[in-house]
Amino acid sequence: MTMDMQTYRDGRKQATDAAEAIREALAGLDLPESVWGGVRPMVTHSGKPYVHLGMVRADAAEKMAEAMQPQGPA
């Protein structure tokens, strides 16, 4: 089954926007470009948008996990 071009464009835009948001967040954590430089937008053959994060060093993953924890009283 072939997807239409608009489905691909929509999926690509959503994946690109999400990848850019992740890159900005990781850079905001003062992580080096070697950590976030490999973040890539991806679109499946059916048009679903994804973000490929790739392999991340353990120390960077710990910093990312800390940043995702809720802040302050719940």
Residues 6+ apart with CB under 8 A from 14: 49
**pTM recorded for the entire structure:** 0.84
Per-residue pLDDT, 59? 92
Residue 58, domain member (yes or no) = yes
Looking at the 3D structure of the chain, how many domains does it have? 1
Residue 39, domain member (yes or no) = yes
Residue 73, domain member (yes or no) = no
Residue 27, domain member (yes or no) = yes
Residue 25, domain member (yes or no) = yes
Nearest-angstrom CA–CA distance, 69 and 42: 26
Residue 52, domain member (yes or no) = yes
- pLDDT tens, residue order, the chain (74 aa): 677 999 999 999 999 999 999 999 999 999 999 888 899 999 999 999 999 999 988 999 999 999 999 887 76
Residue 74, domain member (yes or no) = no
| Residue 14, CA atoms < 13 Å, CB-side half-sphere | 12
Angle (nearest 5°) at CA 57 between 34 and 18: 60
The domain containing residue 43 runs over which residues? 5-68
